[in-house]
Amino acid sequence: MAWADPLRSRRWQLWAALLVLLGALFGVLVFLAGKYEETREQTALERDAQLLANELRNALLRNVQTLQSLQSNAPSPDAWPPMAAEVLDTERDMIRLEWRDNSLNVLAHRDTRYWLNLFALLPRERAQADVRQACDNAQRVSGPAYSPSYFWPMGDGLGLEMMEMCLPLVRAGQPNGFLLVSYSLQGLLAERLGKDLLRGRGLSIVEPDGTRLALHSTIPASLRNLSAQALLDLPGHTLLLRLDSPRAPAALFPNVLTAVVSALALALVAVLALLARDTRRRQRAEQHLADALAFRKAMENSLVTGLRARDMHGRVTYVNPAFCQMVGFAADELLGTALPAPWWPPELIDEYQQRMAVRLAGQVLPREGYESVFQRKDGTRFPVLIIEAPLIDAQGVQTGFMSAIIDLTEQRRAEDTNRAAQERLQASARLATMGEMASLLSHELNQPLAAIASYTTGTLNLLDEDPARAAGWSDDVRLAVRRIAEQAERAGRVIKSVSDFVRRRQSVHEAVSPTTLFEAIQPLLMLQAKKQGVRMAVSVKPGTPQVRCDRTMVEQVLLNLARNGMQAMPDGDPPLGSGLRTLRLHAEPAQPGADRAWVLFSVTDHGHGLDPDVQAQLFTPFVSTKPEGMGLGLSLCRTVVEQHGGHLQHAPASPRGTVFQFTLPAA
């Protein structure tokens, strides 16, 4: 049984390791539980500090309302002091109330009766700098503003930490001086905060560097004390509220017992979940506070709709950044401007002034708005949609109009794009119809053309077989019948090529010389050229190679371009003696430096040239300048050239006219 001793020793080692691991796990759990308790207490303390800061901020806001009520009930300096005394008796945190004019001269004042001889050691004028700073801030923000705190000495080495609050007064829309309140920071802590949150805790107002300004309550100093700070953000000044609390005594055994009973893993997960929930709540509260402080600025900067406010006389009282960007003016350039508005087009000023007169007369425009035209600072015009609503103050009196302006430029552009897309769809439908018609015509014309070719071939055969019958026929008649047969055969090839082109069949490309292409279309062009008095000049540069193409389709391209060139030179223009009444067909090698050889074909006329409006839609299907044209010739020519890998373009000719050029690959 000697082998059992090592086994038993190994088992005890495993048990010992397990006990060590469990002990370490319990120690970690106890440590984490203690840290969790500390974090929870710290979170609760920070939340209470924030609640105290909010409570103090709300109390100061209520004081502002009380002071506004005081000023409305005591309109004269003589009747003011008794009512100010009542306010001071009720609000013990207020040390002094003053009514000053616009130059900060004291019209009336009242001191609290709870602090006697406050200004015995130093005169009140020593605080004039703080008073002026608070009133300047109040005048800038058009509301109450606070000065930085300062120490006011008293007898026996004592003193008070004070802060000034300045409230601008307005009567009948005009500045009516300032209402000044001197606060005691210690009085604010003592009078404005509830006692439930302060029981057993220390509360003070401190500087960012930790210097204490005012103290309400203290706790014995200890390393186990918890501390939390909250910002008291006031217009013009920011205070730091500090809340101290002793840490609760540690309860080690209950935490370990709870961890053992509740299962270690579940306890850890629960603690993490609670901590995450508390953290999310705190972050949510902080986010809500930040959103409330920045709401107006964010709303103003994020709108893409222009906002504009005007008073009953048409003067601009407010514009948002979107409106300034829309019209190209800065806010300083627009505020206070009267009619006519700087964004009105000059030719529409009378119409807009009549519309404004109708609005001031009480005839409000419909809620869905109306369209108008504005002019930017650089002179460009743009359409807008204006939606207006009356501005009603707290007394129910209309003080002006608020307008929401929407730039319709993109909407108009989208409408134009949609309209163009609809036109393209219609053109595509018409092209499909033309394809069907071309297929039908090619099918129907094949039989009569075949019959014509058969009759002409039979006539020539009869003439060749019967010399006696052919004796009365001249060579010209024979040539005419032969030409009829050739053109009937060529018409059949054209119809077959068009049919293959419409059906997207693979066309047959062959090597053809440019001279052969020109000779094939010359007989068809000579009759029209003779009729219109146009001379034809055909030239092929020596050394020009053959091209690989669908011969029939390329002949149709040359024929179409040549006929268009002749039609561009009407009778008498250019005159016959000028030497310009010539249609030139030319072929030469192109792009000598390219990897692949190309041949350049050009058709030059000396007509009036192309207008810029015509050039923009020259290759657009169903757009034609001819009364009898369908607008498909040049479009089909470009399609045929591009199917061969070439490119069709046009340019002005010298001294007048237009030259059409296209390229084909060399064989």
Within 51-156, strands assigned E span: 94-100, 106-111, 145-146, 150-153
pLDDT band at 348 (very low <50, low <70, confident <90, very high): confident
Complete DSSP assignment for 486-500: HHHHHHHHHHHHHHH
Whether 592 shows a pLDDT value over 80: the answer reads no
10 Å Cβ neighbour count for 129? Answer: 12
Helix (H, G, I), strand (E, B) or coil at 363: coil
Instruction: Give the 3-state secondary structure of residue 550.
Output: coil
d(CA 116, CA 188): 18
Write phi, then psi, for 626 (nearest 5 degrees). -95, 140
Dihedral pair phi/psi, residue 5, rounded to 5°: -65, -45
The tens digit of pLDDT for each residue in 483-517 reads 677 666 666 666 666 666 555 555 678 899 999 98
Please write the tens of the pLDDT for every residue from 567-586.
Answer: 888 877 777 766 678 899 99
**C-beta of residue 548 within 8 angstroms of C-beta of residue 516:** no
Lowest pLDDT segment from 10-14, 161-165, 383-387, 604-608: 10-14
Calculate mean pLDDT across residues 378-387: 84
Structural domains in the chain, sorted by start: 49-261 (3.30.450.20), 306-407 (3.30.450.20), 414-506 (1.10.287.130), 507-665 (3.30.565.10)
- The percent of residues in the chain predicted with pLDDT above 90, rounded, is 7
Q: Which residue has the tokens 């217009």?
A: 235
How does DSSP classify residue 194?
A: -
Buried b (16+ CB within 10 A) or exposed e, 470-503: beeeeeeeeeebeebbebbbbbbebbebbbbbbe
Pair 550, 497: CB distance under 8 Å: yes
Q: Is the dihedral of CA 337, 342, 347, 353 positive or negative?
A: negative
Complete edge-to-edge strand list for the sheet that includes strand 582-590: 535-540, 582-590, 598-604, 658-665, 648-652
pLDDT in tens, 85-120: 888 888 888 888 988 888 888 888 888 888 777 777
Give me the pLDDT at residue 4, please.
47
Q: Tokens 């092929």 map to which residue?
A: 540
Cβ-count burial 105-115 (b if 16+ within 10 Å, e if not) = eeebbbbbeeb
DSSP code of residue 541: -
Has residue 590 got a pLDDT over 80?
yes
Higher-confidence residue of 219 and 240: namely: 240
Residues 635, 640, 643, 649: is their CA dihedral positive or negative? negative
Distance CA 446, CA 424 (A): 32
pLDDT the model gives residue 3: 46
Work out the average pLDDT over 396-425: 80
Helix, strand, coil share of the chain (percent; to 5): 50, 25, 30
